[in-house]
Structure 1
């Protein structure tokens, strides 16, 4: 189930970066990897859920990983701004998801 979630994250990140590369879908051919990527990502997310992963875990890891990876890769690929405060915010998102997941497992 974790392999499906990892695939969902990777594909969603690529689809989001393709959306950025599309320049607001003005470069229309980028719509193909965007749409196919999001469909494939949700399909793999669905696989991880159908294999028994709790939705809170799957969505928390998926969204936090996606935010962090897109922000870092957009900095590298598109020279987007990534301030120290933004890096701190990414850290807080990840810490929040970990806190929810770890304490949720204890409760």
Structure 2
């Protein structure tokens, strides 16, 4: 009987400690935003030429991947975008994943 109670406690602890990955992407913050012009569009992402404060934080360009190709269906090279992101991976160029994308201005 004690062993069954320990298993229930262990399983409950494991289940409560696991965060649903989809919920993590619902936590969009205005502090994690980039703005820039689309240099290149790929099937699973874009390359942005950063502008304003975004440029000073990282570098001149950043690769932005998307989880859903529908996010970039209407995006074209030359457009100005506002991108909410998860975190920036330090590579050359830096990389991130878009949580949301807004078109600021068309070419």
Q: Same fold (TM over 0.5)?
A: no
TM-score (norm 2): 0.21
Structure of greater relative contact order (alpha carbons < 8 Å, 6+ residues apart): 1
Q: Max radius of gyration: which structure? A: 2
Higher strand share: 2
